[in-house]
Amino acid sequence: PPYGFYWFRLAADSDGPTWHSDAPEPMPEYTTFVLRGGPEEITNPAHRTLFETDVVPTWLTKRRWFAAKDQKLGRVHVTMAAQLGKGRELALLAVEVGHPGGAARYLLPLGITWDDQPALAMPQQLALARVRRGRRTGTLTDGYALGEFHYALLALLREGAEVPAGDGHVIFRPTEGLATVEIDPTVAIRWLSAEQSNSSVIIDHKLVLKLFRRLAPGEHPEAEMGRELTARGFANAAPLYGEILHRGEAGEQTVLAILQGYIAGEGDAWEWSMAFLDRAVDDMQRREASAEDVLGQYEAFARNLGQRLGEMHAILAQPSDNPAFAPAEAGAAQLRQWRDRILGRTTDALDRLSERRDSLSEAERALADRLLPRRAALLKALLRLIAAGKDGPLHRIHGDFHLGQVLVASGDAVIIDFEGEPAQPLAERRAKDSPWRDVAGILRSLDYALAARQRAGVTSREAFDVMAADFASRIPAALLEAYRAAAPDSADPARDAALLELFLIEKASYEVGYELGNRPDWLAVPLGGLLALVETLLDGEAPE
């Protein structure tokens, strides 16, 4: 001090830092619309055909949250349009996109940034078209990029307003808690990311407004779970302050956005874990500390995480007059559902692994060659585990639980993002399931955390290996112990053990299939995990 230095390395191909996101790819050439009023005029006959056939399809394929990039798009048409804002300069649209795999609806807010006003970079990055009104020119952009759009939604939520939207209304439904939250409009809005599966902003470090990009009719699990957990007083989830939904003429409802409380903390548990494991290895080297010493803080966090998950499950297991939250037991129908889902995922992973065997690395091929001959015995054992789950408790669960769905706040754990697996149908994401599915998800995520830290590089491989071995034996055990203490008392520990083993194998099989299709260089992580689980399950049984 006061001097320092930076050391740079140029790399042609390297992973960027975790906080980095690529700037959205701009449109190659902008269409210009001549307007008399606001952006809702885009849906008028004079502009609608061009907007639906040329502008929207090109723009959608550049968005990360658009799920049909690899398919040829069919007809695109606007299914909903509502005018918002004091000057009606904002609009809330839904567009339906046809493709060979079916059709899907997406939320598309619109706004205009005029050239004679200061503008941020994001409205330009997310622009759809150019506009002209009289002598004034500007850009038609995703309303998400505009601070005034979010404040307009917040104002309408406070009013409990209903806004006409073609064949229905957009309904702004606040909770009682919203009236107690005071917002300073001079504090800048913080955009979390424009290119995630959903689009969220932080308002005055007190509220989070989340727009659901892909729309589906019916109750949304994020809104539903937030409403229920808030009502039941679960403090370790973000409180729900409001919902924005569209109600059609026939009464069908689609949730468009939710407003939640902002949780201040140290980031999500995945990134926190990466930083912690880095420090742990450095501490072992600098202070010659043992792995037991450096992992104490993480063990305490793991216990808190297990306790909070158990407390949430205990709340969700309570009797309820709401049929969507009334607990149940695993009967024949649930066992069939588990059989179809879990055996389907496992056989798919093994089939794809077999097809790709010759293209795998030597180390991956060795793992595959130990796993694939056990296919028949594995599927038979899975049927045995499923049968053991008969009469087990079922209730609403998180459904997609991993370290990225947890916020770290002063060492405690706050559970977020109750959407379930985004690729699954809404009915399945809202279905009751065994609580051990959530436990399996977080245990697999701990395994991934160690692998990810190792892949990113460590200062000492020897110190990391010692620490990783201690982590793998202590941390999951601590989480499980705390979970069992907080969760409802078990009537059948043997059934619980069978279900945990079942869902661990399901999760690892899903991961193998995912990595084969999306990140082949990560395959060794879930493949090694799945092999270890299978060999433990089939201990003593010889491969075919």
Per-residue confidence (pLDDT) for residue 258, from 0 to 100:
96
Per-residue confidence (pLDDT) for residue 504, from 0 to 100:
97
With a cut of 70, say whether residue 146 has pLDDT above it.
Answer: yes
Give the whole-angstrom CA distance, residue 277 versus residue 270: 11
With a cut of 80, say whether residue 113 has pLDDT above it.
Answer: yes
- Top pLDDT among 392 and 285 is at 392
- Work out the pLDDT band at 286, boundaries 50, 70, 90: confident
Q: Are strands 127-133 and 136-142 parallel, antiparallel or unpaired?
A: antiparallel
With a cut of 60, say whether residue 158 has pLDDT above it.
Answer: yes
Per-residue confidence (pLDDT) for residue 541, from 0 to 100:
67
Write the burial class of residue 10 (CB in 10 Å: 0-12 exposed, 13-18 middle, 19+ buried): exposed
Average pLDDT, the chain: 90
Q: How far apart are the first and last CA of the chain?
A: 65
With a cut of 80, say whether residue 159 has pLDDT above it.
Answer: yes
Residue 522: count other Cβ atoms within 10 Å of its Cβ: 17
| Amino acid at site 258 | I
Of 280-284, 336-340, 486-490, the least confident: 280-284
Give the whole-angstrom CA distance, residue 544 versus residue 541: 9
- Work out the pLDDT band at 544, boundaries 50, 70, 90: low
Q: Taking residues 202-230, what's their average pLDDT?
A: 93
- Work out the pLDDT band at 16, boundaries 50, 70, 90: low
Query: Which tens digits make up the pLDDT trace of 172-214?
Result: 999 999 999 999 988 889 998 655 678 999 999 999 999 999 9
Per-residue confidence (pLDDT) for residue 455, from 0 to 100:
76
With a cut of 80, say whether residue 265 has pLDDT above it.
Answer: yes
- Work out the pLDDT band at 451, boundaries 50, 70, 90: confident
Per-residue confidence (pLDDT) for residue 36, from 0 to 100:
85
pTM score of the predicted model:
0.86
Q: What angle do CA 374, 377, 382 make, to 5 degrees?
A: 115
Share of the chain above pLDDT 70, in %: 94
- Torsion angle of C-alpha atoms 339, 345, 346, 352, degrees rounded to 10: 150
363, 323, 317, 115: which is closest to 224 by C-alpha? 323
Give the whole-angstrom CA distance, residue 486 versus residue 475: 17
Q: Taking residues 205-225, what's their average pLDDT?
A: 92
Q: Taking residues 124-147, what's their average pLDDT?
A: 92
Of 160-174, 279-293, 488-502, the least confident: 279-293
Per-residue confidence (pLDDT) for residue 534, from 0 to 100:
96
With a cut of 90, say whether residue 29 has pLDDT above it.
Answer: no
Per-residue confidence (pLDDT) for residue 33, from 0 to 100:
92
Cβ atoms of residues 358 and 394 within 8 Å: no
Per-residue confidence (pLDDT) for residue 120, from 0 to 100:
82
With a cut of 80, say whether residue 422 has pLDDT above it.
Answer: no
Q: Are strands 127-133 and 32-34 parallel, antiparallel or unpaired?
A: parallel
Query: Which tens digits make up the pLDDT trace of 304-320?
Result: 999 999 999 999 999 99
Outline where 317-435 has alpha helix (H): 332-355, 362-371, 375-388, 426-429
Give the whole-angstrom CA distance, residue 438 versus residue 394: 12
Per-residue confidence (pLDDT) for residue 260, from 0 to 100:
95
Per-residue confidence (pLDDT) for residue 441, from 0 to 100:
96
Per-residue confidence (pLDDT) for residue 501, from 0 to 100:
97
- Work out the pLDDT band at 137, boundaries 50, 70, 90: very high
With a cut of 80, say whether residue 372 has pLDDT above it.
Answer: yes
